[in-house]
Amino acid sequence: MLLLKEILDPKYGMFAHYQETRAIWFSELSLEKQGMYFLIGLLCGLAIYNFTIINLPFPLVLYKKLLAEPVELDDIGGLCPTLMRSLHSLLDYEGDDVEDVFCLSFVMSREVFGSV
């Protein structure tokens, strides 16, 4: 449990933490190799095998992916409900002036190791 808690710490950058839902997801900006994620999977499997309760705040969509179930737009709500509602608003809008109405320029900024 202590090892998993340490691995999930944001300072390692292996997982993106979503404040709105307190969920985590795999970070595409991680400098770690796939072997580290394999290690996390082994630790999770070992915990399940030993009936140990661990806190893994993954959204439901991860389990849907593991079970090969279809993933939908609403599944992003498990990570960021605001983003899900915004994307639904864009899809539901029927006018041609999307950029003007929603004031969108389709620019995205990211925080990478403390810098935007």
Q: Can you list the alpha helix ranges (DSSP code H) found in 50-93? A: 60-66, 81-92
∠ CA 107-111-113, rounded to 5° = 150
pLDDT, the chain, mean: 84
The string of pLDDT tens digits covering residues 77-108 is 888 898 899 888 888 888 777 777 777 766 77
The string of pLDDT tens digits covering residues 28-45 is 777 778 888 898 889 888
* CATH architecture assigned to 2-102: Alpha-Beta Complex (3.90)
Q: Which of 25, 29, 30 is CA-nearest to residue 79?
A: 25
**What pTM does this model have?**
0.70
| Partners of 16 in the β-ladder | 25
| Partners of 23 in the β-ladder | 18
Two structure tokens written together for 12: 């390692």
11 falls in which pLDDT band (50, 70, 90)?
A: confident
